[in-house]
Structure formats: C-alpha cells, structure tokens
A and B are shown apart, each in its own frame.
Chain A
C-alpha cells in the first residue's frame, strides 16, 4: 500500500489534487523509511505498541481523507465530513509522527549492531554511509519538518472551515 501511495506525489505534481508535491513527497519518504527500513526490517520492534499505533494513525487519516475525496468528486460532500477531514489530523498527525520517532529511536542500537543499510569503507567508490547516524540526524530534523507540514494543514483548516462548514462544503 505504501508503495502505491507514491501515486499521491504524481497526483500532486500533475495538479490533479491541489497539494504541494514537495510536501507529499516528504511525507511519503518519511513513512516509507519508517515502514520498510525501521518497522519491517527490525523484528524486535513488532512487539512494541508504537508499531501498531503508527499504522493505526496512518490508516485512520486515510479512512477520513479518501471518502472525502470521493464525496467531493461526486459533489455530494456532507459538511461533517469536510469538518472531519480538516480536524481529524489534529490529534492523529502528531501521534503518528511521535510513534515514528519512537520506533526510529528504538531502532538505533539494532541498526548499529547489524550494520543495516550502511556502506562501509574500504570500497572502490571510497564511499561510506552510516544509516544509524543518518537516522539520528533525521530525528533531529523531524520535529522541524513535521511542523512545516502540520502548520500547512492548520492553515488549510482555517481557510476551509472559517466560513460555516455547510457553505465550505458547497464551494469545494
């Protein structure tokens, strides 16, 4: 599913949906990393409650978003759905991001031990990549990048919901 979600970037880039392709790409990249290279690659993390919680947050977000797309496209979007689409993210999004960060943090010792996704010297390309260090830097940047996306959503919320929800639903 996460691989299929790549088409969202294409949708944004082609103007099919009005989202910014860069933001969509960042979210896709962040989630793919958390899913394929952290949660899936390290079996010890499966038992941690953060793993199912992370997936639940992602899914809940989409369960609201896609019906809203469908209803809007059919020109039959009820006001409460629009309200939900622009409100549900307020608790879901930070929870999802915190669980992603918890998993990444817990993954660090495993990545280091096993040398996961890392490249070591010596090699013919004289290149090295330490995935654990990379994740540590990503963890530092995450809150900053997350706030960029979250504030964009908050701004959209103000724009969409400032006229009464019913009116907003009609103009969409």
Chain B
C-alpha cells in the first residue's frame, strides 16, 4: 500500500489533473477521482488509455475493474484521457428508438385522412393490412420488452448523438413502410400466402427472442469478457440473432409485398452484416485454439449460405 500520483493528460499532452490514490485502487476509483476534480466529467464520459508504446498509434484502454498495479501504473505514470461527450443510457436510447415506430405505424393505419389527405375515399383495411399492423406493433413491443427484461448491455451508456441518429433511422423507416402498406391504393397480395408468411415471420421473431435469451445467459453474473455462444442456431451461425431478425423482415416484406419493406430489410441487414463481421473476426482471433484457449468452430457469420 502506497499512495501514488497519476498524471492525467489529454491526448495532445495537455494536463487535465493530477490524481493521488492508493496503488491497490482500480481504474474505476481513478475515474471517480477525476470526476471529483472536474465535476463535468462523470466516469461514463471518460475514456482512459495508457500512452502508446513506441511505434504504436494508441495504447491499451484501461478497463474499469482493473487495478492500477495490474496495468503497470506507478507513481508519476501518465494516463491519457479522452472526453466521450454527454452520455445517455443504452436502455433509454433503445426505448425511444423502438417506442417511436410502435406509435408511428399504427398512426398511418388508424388515421388515413391525415396521411393521405388527397384520397377521396379510404377503403376498409384488408386482413393482410390488419395483420401487418399487429405484427409491426408486436415486433417493437417485443424489442422494448427485451430491452428491459432480457438484454445485458456490455456498456451502460453511449454518446447522446446516437439517440438522434438511431431515432431518425427508425422513425423514418417506420413512416416509409407504413405509408405504403396503409396506402388507400394498396394492392393486397393473396391472403393465404400472406398469412403463411406472417406466421413464418412470427416464428423467426420467436427464434430471435430465444437467441437473445441465450446471449443474455452466456456469462454468469459478474463475469466479463468474450465467450463462444452455443446452442440452438448459434451452433451454425455466429450472429444467429441477426439471421432470425433479417429472415423475419424478409417474410414481412414478402407478406405485405412492398418494396419499402425490402429497402428497410436491406438497410438493417447491411448494418447487421458490418457488426456481425466484426464480432466473428474478434471471436476467431480470440479463440485461436492455442495455449489452452478453445478453437472457434467453423460457422457462418450471419446469413447462410452466403455470408
């Protein structure tokens, strides 16, 4: 036990503050001390890294639970600080981005006179349109339920800009899809075909829920770090949850027979493919089968038989 002084600097070398604390303290204690010195910089806003080793661009990120000793910080050591900006909770962002579509879509369904003011007469909604609306609301209700009762978030917060970015994406597409499915001149596809496809979409949604439950139970309470997901579709696909999600939207788009549905599916699939590739690469790199680490099994990344 010894009291050490850690110099906190910005990445351009400007001193932020000097912090004195025990050598047995953790990174999280260090962040609290910085917060004490600079009241605007609450711990979630702080990103701390070690100075980059010679020849490297950036140093290791300091994880909250690690002790200062374990990451090699001694008296007089320098820590680099980055302000991540105003933060907002993950569940808050998720709630708003999912609540919007849950309200926007039924608005088009219920109040056609507002959204299609030029239409002389609005025909009564067909069964396919009714089921589509119910399915849409169910989907976003499920996502909100998962946000509060299933998901375990790796991070607590994200920059507040994401709230606006994500909400524009979800609200915009909800309106774009709802506009065409509830259009007064909507062409209803064959009913049986649509109902079968909606049933399939529902099965994919429930599979997606099951994937999310498997992911939530992957780590025991308090456990951190990466693990190999296993069971159900994860035995074949790294991001089985994305697979089920995409297939659900493909079925929805076919069931409603809308180009807008497919554009929404494609936009989501592209973003998920980027995430899936990142996760797959990380897992393959981490679980290389050397030094007692398990070898990552051969799996599809997201969308068999293509990707």
Chain A interface residues (CB < 8 Å from chain B): 121-128
**Secondary structure of the B contact surface, majority rule:** loop
Top-5 shortest CB links A-B? A127-B259, A122-B185, A121-B185, A126-B258, A126-B180
- Kindly report which residue of chain A lies nearest to residue B261, judged by CB atoms: A126
Task: Please measure, in the bound complex, the distance between the C-alpha atom of A125 and the C-alpha atom of B262, giving whole angstroms.
Answer: 10
Q: Which residues of B contact A (CB under 8 A)?
A: 180-181, 183, 185-187, 256-260
Chain A residues whose CB sits within 8 angstroms of the CB of B185 once the complex forms: 121-122
**Cβ-defined contact, B186 with A121, below 8 A:** yes
**Smallest CB separation, A7 vs chain B (Å):** 27
In Å, the complex CA distance between A124 and B256 comes to: 10
Number of A-B contacts (CB under 8 A): 29
Chain A residues near B260 (CB, 8 Å)? 126-127
Kindly state the separation between the CA atoms of A28 and B180 in the bound complex, as whole angstroms.
Answer: 31
Known: A121-B185, A126-B260; 15 extra A-B contacts, CB below 8 A, are: A121-B183, A121-B186, A122-B187, A123-B187, A124-B187, A124-B257, A125-B257, A126-B181, A126-B186, A126-B256, A126-B257, A126-B258, A126-B259, A127-B180, A127-B258
Instruction: Kindly list chain A residues whose C-beta atoms are within 8 Å of the C-beta of B181.
Output: 126
A125 to B254, CA, bound (A): 10
Majority DSSP secondary structure for residues of A touching B = loop
Chain A residue, CB-CB nearest to B184 = A121
Complex CA distance for A6 and B145, rounded to whole angstroms: 49
In the assembly, what is the distance between CA of A114 and CA of B19, in Å? 72
Chain B residues within an 8 Å CB radius of A128: 180, 183
Measured in the bound complex, the distance between the Cα atoms of B188 and A121 in whole Å is 12
Complex Cα gap A103–B160 (Å): 41
- Minimum CB–CB distance for A40 against chain B, Å: 27
Closest to B258 in A: A126
B182 to chain A, nearest CB (A): 10
* Closest B residue to A128 using CB positions: B180
Residues in B neighbouring A127, C-beta threshold 8 A: 180, 258-260
The interface residues of chain A lying within 8 Å CB-to-CB of B257 are 124-126
